[in-house]
Homo-oligomer: A and B are copies of this chain.
Amino acid sequence: MTSAFRDPTIQMAHGAGGQASRRLIEGLLRPAFGNDLLDPLADAALLPGGLALTTDSFVVHPLAFPGGSIGELAVHGTINDLAVSGATPIALTASLILEAGLEREILEREVRAMAEAANRAGCPIATGDTKVVEHGKADGLYINTTGLGRLHPNASLGADRVTPGDKILLSGAIADHGVAIMLARDELAMESDVRSDTRSVLPLTTALLDAWGAEIKWMRDATRGGIATVLNELAHDADVGVVLTEEAVPIHDAVRGACELLGLEPYHVANEGQYLAVVSAAVAEEALEQLRAIEGGDEAALIGEVSDASRRLVLGKTPFGGTRVIDMLIGDPLPRIC
């Protein structure tokens, strides 16, 4: 059996979360692992008995950056995958791949960062594993976290529940994480106070589900590939159009400036503490007010709506009345962002 994935070698873009990643997943991984549970494009697998399971490996470079480090990123990322799947974390696993020669202080710092992030989220790290590879066979430290969660009793999420007229909420300002990583790599050679947005979105997702139940139709965190990729996946998976009101998307000035300098589309830049929710129009304004009242939700915004025109496309409406097509990420302008 040959697979539909025909790229001769693996390239950085296959890990970027955009079109090349999708080609690898749809062409090779999904057919090979194919089973009833597997939906590799969702954030977590839903298992019988109301359980949710998700896994992520973290290879961010550098290990520490303004606003965070790989340890807390690894915990928040997996908690967020459960959260946007409508689940509450029960337990995490932590598996470390260490490069020989790694300084104890760095390992201590990241282990503490993991423990503190897990404590803040009220989720125990229940088991772990440690491997060591020779110097030059890793890049300091890679972390896998896997999360087991239990579905919120009110959760009724799925692309198949999305219908034209639904509104799209965003939990806060975008592109902070990707730009913070670029600054930490000193690729801009500029001073800035941009900080990664790494955080648990669990309080924000839980509040929506507590209050609105089935009126919350779909949620997804906007990590690799940014909100553009996630909205394209929404348009594709729900077979709908997505209309983005561009001036409604919160972007910090310093982040916008850095993206302009680098020629990056902020919609393609990774976030580590933001998610998108599709909610029924009837509750959208109230749900937004609720998000804004929660600590860390003050920059939440209603950024667009679901349409029955231009299916499988994301259209951006500019402040001047123009319309443009917003594609998912192609290539990998920001490798190893998480």
- Cβ-based interface call for A64 (8 A): no
- Cβ-based interface call for A136 (8 A): yes
Docked Cα-Cα span, A49 to B137, in Å, equals 40
Query: Known: A9-B102, A28-B107, A47-B91. Contact between A130 and B14, CB under 8 A?
Result: yes
Interface centre among A94, A99, A129, A148 (most CB of B within 10 A): A129
Within 8 A of B (CB), among A92-127: 93-104, 107-108, 111-112, 114-115, 118, 124-127
One complex includes copies of this chain to the number of 2
Interface centre among A14, A51, A98, A144 (most CB of B within 10 A): A144
Within 8 A of B (CB), among A37-73: 37-40, 42, 44-45, 47-48, 51, 53-59
| B-side contacts of A95, CB under 8 Å | 55-57, 144, 146
| B-side contacts of A108, CB under 8 Å | 3, 5, 28, 32
By the criterion CB–CB under 8 Å, are A57 and B97 in contact? yes
Query: Known: A3-B108, A40-B127, A54-B127. Contact between A33 and B148, CB under 8 A?
Result: no
| B-side contacts of A229, CB under 8 Å | none
Which of these, B5, B132, B142, contacts A10 with CB under 8 Å?
B132
Interface centre among A32, A42, A54, A139 (most CB of B within 10 A): A32
By the criterion CB–CB under 8 Å, are A100 and B38 in contact? no
By the criterion CB–CB under 8 Å, are A53 and B132 in contact? no
The tally of residues in A whose CB lies under 8 Å from a CB in B reads 81
By the criterion CB–CB under 8 Å, are A38 and B126 in contact? yes
By the criterion CB–CB under 8 Å, are A129 and B7 in contact? no
Which of these, B8, B33, B97, contacts A115 with CB under 8 Å?
B33
Docked Cα-Cα span, A304 to B150, in Å, equals 43
Query: Known: A10-B98, A32-B112, A45-B91. Contact between A53 and B126, CB under 8 A?
Result: yes
| B-side contacts of A37, CB under 8 Å | 91, 124, 126-127
By the criterion CB–CB under 8 Å, are B21 and A124 in contact? no
By the criterion CB–CB under 8 Å, are A57 and B104 in contact? no
By the criterion CB–CB under 8 Å, are A126 and B14 in contact? no
| B-side contacts of A124, CB under 8 Å | 33, 35-38
Extra pairs beyond A12-B100, A12-B134, A53-B91 (5, CB < 8 Å): A32-B114, A37-B91, A38-B125, A45-B91, A55-B93
Interface residues, chain A, with chain B CB atoms under 8 Å away: 3, 5-16, 21, 24-25, 28-29, 32-33, 35-40, 42, 44-45, 47-48, 51, 53-59, 90-91, 93-104, 107-108, 111-112, 114-115, 118, 124-134, 136-139, 142, 144, 146, 148, 335-336
| 25 A-B pairs in the complex with CB atoms less than 8 angstroms apart | A5-B104, A5-B108, A10-B102, A10-B132, A11-B132, A13-B132, A28-B111, A29-B128, A32-B108, A33-B94, A33-B115, A33-B128, A35-B125, A38-B127, A38-B128, A48-B90, A51-B148, A55-B146, A57-B129, A59-B97, A59-B131, A59-B137, A144-B144, A144-B146, A148-B148
